[in-house]
């Protein structure tokens, strides 16, 4: 708008777009959680196999997602590790995944001695695509872990087709993607296994915790054993076969998760409305790319991430965002500052102190490198992205203010002034 160009930016001493603070997350734990935790304690056992809470939670979550099996575990990372173990990842096996994710995704691969192989991303959904995965397939590829980043579903149909052709399983990392839908179907139910996180920062929290969903009988049984030291608690014989972890959740986590489940649809629906509205308002601001969600998908926005076209403005991405933030709007640069492979673990290829494993040439290939330029689109996303919290405490007013701040700053720094008439 022409008027905006005459108003000084807040960073230059002008009036802010937003003077008051943004709303905090609404109360997350209330009577429902207190009651569930009390009931859990009154059971006089907090053991997941003896109490009701974890079992009731798993049944409810499986029903919500329409799959036969749900196992609860102690974290999202544990859920992913159960999944890589269930599909049989072992030393030297290559697992293709995204470089823009939480460390938990790669821990699940390395914990089995697998070799993380990073594929590039779509420039505006920030997700893996069938084409980028295909470029990384080798005869050693044993699985793909797709991450629905920020709650935005990856384009799964072509990925599923690729995995079927290559005869490798697909694991969905849904830690950021509660209630997200791909062509109407909930993500986490389309691949071979779907993994979720209940850590304290996700859409819902049990402090920590995770879930593994599957329709596959064999995988379900392997997860059941793997999360509990290899014990068969359904059978009479407790003789573990093979390596397993202790990823048992406690009844306290089950109780809180059960209560949180009631809030989940509302939380995801509010975020979806606010995020989609922000995209509509940002469309048409030259140089600002909204978070692209396919029209046939539903994104549940664990956060909102857009991009800036660096050629469109006379200032750097960081200077631009400082000006937006000064308008009173909560934006920060990038996803988490660096891609997973830019960390020392991959730069030095040292997962286990002093040991070259799994890149030792015995199990894994020794010629795998994680040099800059490995995933050029992902690197470009990280250096041009901006991130903004969107949550269920927001109203249309917050969306309006974020869009207004971007519009104001963009008008001021554009290198291509639009004629005003």
Ligand X SMILES: *Cc1c(COP(=O)(O)O)cnc(C)c1O
Q: What is the closest distance, in whole angstroms, from the C-beta atom of residue 4 to ligand X in the complex?
A: 36
If one counts every other C-beta atom within 10 angstroms of the C-beta of residue 50, the result is 13
Q: What is the closest distance, in whole angstroms, from the C-beta atom of residue 372 to ligand X in the complex?
A: 23
* DSSP-based three-state secondary structure for 275: helix
Nearer to ligand X, 197 or 214 (CB): 197
The answer for residues whose C-beta is within 8 angstroms of residue 353's C-beta and 6 or more apart is: none
Nearer to ligand X, 199 or 279 (CB): 199
DSSP secondary structure letter of residue 342: G
DSSP 9-24: PGGGT---S--SPPPP
Nearer to ligand X, 104 or 191 (CB): 104
Torsion angle of alpha carbons 386, 148, 95, 69, nearest 10°? 150
Q: If we measure between CA atoms, which residue out of 256, 160, 159 comes closest to residue 200?
A: 256
Nearer to ligand X, 23 or 207 (CB): 207
Q: What is the closest distance, in whole angstroms, from the C-beta atom of residue 205 to ligand X in the complex?
A: 10
In the beta sheet, which residues pair with residue 214? 69, 193
If one counts every other C-beta atom within 10 angstroms of the C-beta of residue 344, the result is 8
Q: What is the closest distance, in whole angstroms, from the C-beta atom of residue 30 to ligand X in the complex?
A: 22
Which residue of the chain is nearest ligand X when measured via CB? 76
To which residue do tokens 């199990």 refer? 363
Nearer to ligand X, 246 or 415 (CB): 246
Nearer to ligand X, 105 or 214 (CB): 105
Establish whether the linkage from the previous residue to 421 is cis, with ω within 30° of 0: no
Q: What is the closest distance, in whole angstroms, from the C-beta atom of residue 113 to ligand X in the complex?
A: 19
Q: What is the closest distance, in whole angstroms, from the C-beta atom of residue 367 to ligand X in the complex?
A: 28
Q: What is the closest distance, in whole angstroms, from the C-beta atom of residue 306 to ligand X in the complex?
A: 19
Q: What is the closest distance, in whole angstroms, from the C-beta atom of residue 399 to ligand X in the complex?
A: 24
Gap between the Cα atoms of 154 and 161, Å rounded: 13
Q: What is the closest distance, in whole angstroms, from the C-beta atom of residue 148 to ligand X in the complex?
A: 8
Q: What is the closest distance, in whole angstroms, from the C-beta atom of residue 105 to ligand X in the complex?
A: 5
Summarize as ranges the residues that interact with ligand X (CB under 6 A): 75-77, 101-102, 104-105, 147, 173, 175-176, 197, 199, 208, 210
Nearer to ligand X, 100 or 411 (CB): 100
Q: Which helix (H) or strand (E) covers residue 218, if one does?
A: helix 217-226
The answer for residues whose C-beta is within 8 angstroms of residue 82's C-beta and 6 or more apart is: 71, 73, 195, 212, 222, 223, 226, 227, 245, 247
Dihedral-angle region of residue 184 (phi above 0 means left; psi in -120 to 50 means alpha; beta otherwise): left
Nearer to ligand X, 76 or 334 (CB): 76
CA atoms within 13 A on the CB side of 27: 6
Q: Are 65 and 346 in contact (CB under 8 A)?
A: no
Nearer to ligand X, 10 or 256 (CB): 256
Q: Which helix (H) or strand (E) covers residue 332, if one does?
A: strand 331-333
Q: What is the closest distance, in whole angstroms, from the C-beta atom of residue 301 to ligand X in the complex?
A: 13
Nearer to ligand X, 177 or 259 (CB): 177
In the beta sheet, which residues pair with residue 72? 211
Nearer to ligand X, 208 or 327 (CB): 208
- Give me the count of residues in the chain: 421
Cβ burial 145-161 (10 Å sphere, 16+ → b, else e): bbbbbbbbbbbbeebbe
CA atoms within 13 A on the CB side of 317: 19
DSSP secondary structure letter of residue 401: H
């Amino acid at each position: 708008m022409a008027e905006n160009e005459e108003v000084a930016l807040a960073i230059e001493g002008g009036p802010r777009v937003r003077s008051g603070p943004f709303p905090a997350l609404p109360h997350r734990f209330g009577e429902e959680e207190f009651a569930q935790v009390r009931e859990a304690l009154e059971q006089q056992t907090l053991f997941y196999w003896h109490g009701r809470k974890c079992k009731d939670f798993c049944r409810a979550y499986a029903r919500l997602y329409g799959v036969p099996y749900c196992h609860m575990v102690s974290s999202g990372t544990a859920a992913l590790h159960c999944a890589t173990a269930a599909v049989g990842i072992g030393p030297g096996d290559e697992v293709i995944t995204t470089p823009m994710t939480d460390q938990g995704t790669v821990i699940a691969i390395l914990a089995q001695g697998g070799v993380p192989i990073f594929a590039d991303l779509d420039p505006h959904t920030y997700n893996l695509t069938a084409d980028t995965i295909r470029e990384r397939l080798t005869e050693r590829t044993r699985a793909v872990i797709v991450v629905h980043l920020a709650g935005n579903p990856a384009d799964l149909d072509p990925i599923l087709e690729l995995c079927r052709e290559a005869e490798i399983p697909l694991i969905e990392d849904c830690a950021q993607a509660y209630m997200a839908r791909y062509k109407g179907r909930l993500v986490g139910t389309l691949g071979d296994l779907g993994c979720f996180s209940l850590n304290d920062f996700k859409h819902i929290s049990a402090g920590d915790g995770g879930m593994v969903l599957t329709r596959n009988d064999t995988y379900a049984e392997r997860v059941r054993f793997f999360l509990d030291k290899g014990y068969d608690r359904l059978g009479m014989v407790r003789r573990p076969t093979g390596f397993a972890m202790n990823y048992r959740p406690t009844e306290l986590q089950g109780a809180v998760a059960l209560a949180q489940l009631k809030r989940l649809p509302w939380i995801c629906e509010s975020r979806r409305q606010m995020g989609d509205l922000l995209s509509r308002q940002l469309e048409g601001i030259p140089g600002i790319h909204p978070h692209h969600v396919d029209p046939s998908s539903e994104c549940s926005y664990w956060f909102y991430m857009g991009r800036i076209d660096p050629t469109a403005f006379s200032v750097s991405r960081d200077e631009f965002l400082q000006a937006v933030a000064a308008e009173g709007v909560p934006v920060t640069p990038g996803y988490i500052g660096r891609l997973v492979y830019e960390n020392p673990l991959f730069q030095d290829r040292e997962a286990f102190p002093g040991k070259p494993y799994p890149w030792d040439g015995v199990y894994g290939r020794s010629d795998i490198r994680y040099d800059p330029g490995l995933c050029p689109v992902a690197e470009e996303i990280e250096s041009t992205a901006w991130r903004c919290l969107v949550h269920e405490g927001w109203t249309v007013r917050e969306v309006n203010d974020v869009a207004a701040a971007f519009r104001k700053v963009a008008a001021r720094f554009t290198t291509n002034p639009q004629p005003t008439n």
